[in-house]
Amino acid sequence: MTLPAALVADGFGATLVGHDIYLNKDGTFGGTLSLPAANVNLDGFLVSVQGLTLSTMGVGVMTATATLPGALTGGKIVTVTGTGLMIGTVGSVGGSLTLSGQSLTVAGFGVATTDIILDGAGLSIDHLTLTTPSVFHLAPIAVDGVHIGVDGSISGSVTIPLTLTFGIEGFTFSASTVSLDQTGVRVGLLSLTLPKALGGKTLSGHNIYLTYDGKFGSAPDGSSGQIRAQARGDGSVGPALSLPTCPRPRWTTPASRSRASAPPSTA
């Protein structure tokens, strides 16, 4: 059905589509009405809607994108996108909201994120970068796979790009590319140099994982950890010793559900 021009608001399509429309003798009715597209400006909020439907089940939107006014975002382009949105007649809400990647700097500390997603499983951020003031002499800190589940579970990993070196009683220890997640600590590269009285040789390790309950080896995700020992005084190393995989601690925070398998919210 094509609506008269007098009934069409600015930005709305003029075509209204009905599917399976029926009217019973007792006055009840059913079916689905859909508006293919709409683009409106609401007090500076630019809203674009695709696939708006109204039925006895509620209001559904295939996709909706809102661009926030520049006065609220400091001139940056910030969008909120809804996908598969459904507001049921019984009060249920489903679908997902995505806030476009953001960056913020306060007192020399900076935060930059990829898209922030909120759905029935919780809140997810694929990647987040933290930068510190130059006085700290730190490279950006990376946080990956962040998920806060509706059940309170938290998952993700933090990578700290620094090198720690210290000595104790002639032993010298060095570690770099340190990552922390919900099960333990991963060290990308490490070395342990023995005192000269013990030969002064160096043990080196790659991708070593230490769980919070004291076990060490390869990471539970299947990444291979290895240890090598210096073979001769010329600095050459011997064959690599592969480490067994660390078991996950029993008390670890439960892994968050994937968004693909999570049921829609009924809140």
How far is Cα of residue 221 from the mean position of the Cα atoms in its chain? 18
* Rounded distance between C-alpha atoms, residue 20 and residue 29, angstroms: 10
**What separation, in Å, do the N-terminal and C-terminal C-alpha atoms of the chain show?**
35
pLDDT at 113: 92
Mean pLDDT of 120-131: 89
Residue 166 has pLDDT above 80, yes or no: no
Q: Kindly state the percentage of the chain with pLDDT values over 70.
A: 81
Residue 265 has pLDDT above 80, yes or no: no
What is the rounded radius of gyration, in angstroms, for the C-alpha atoms of the chain? 28
Provide the 3-class DSSP secondary structure of residue 110: strand
pLDDT at 98: 92
Residue 267 has pLDDT above 50, yes or no: no
Residue 179 has pLDDT above 70, yes or no: yes
pLDDT at 26: 79
> Residue 173 phi/psi, 5° resolution?
-120, 135
Torsion of CA 86, 89, 92, 96, to 10 degrees: 10
- 120: which DSSP letter? T
Contact 68, 80 (CB under 8 A): yes
Q: Kindly state the percentage of the chain with pLDDT values over 90.
A: 5
Q: What is the per-residue pLDDT across 192-244, written as a single tens digit (0 to 9) for each?
A: 888 888 877 888 888 888 877 777 788 766 677 778 776 555 556 666 777 77
Provide the token pair at 160: 């700290």
Contact 112, 84 (CB under 8 A): no
Residue 176 has pLDDT above 60, yes or no: yes
pLDDT band per the 50, 70, 90 thresholds, residue 266: very low
Question: CA-CA distances (angstroms) from residue 258 to 85, 155, 250?
Answer: 18, 11, 21
- Give the 3-state DSSP-derived string for 51-81, with helices as H, strands as E and coil as C: EEEEECCEEEEEEEEEECCHHHHCCCCCEEE
Any idea which residue has 């003029």 for tokens? 14
* Rounded distance between C-alpha atoms, residue 87 and residue 7, angstroms: 25
Q: What is the per-residue pLDDT across 59-107, written as a single tens digit (0 to 9) for each?
A: 888 898 988 888 777 778 889 999 998 888 887 888 999 988 888 888 8
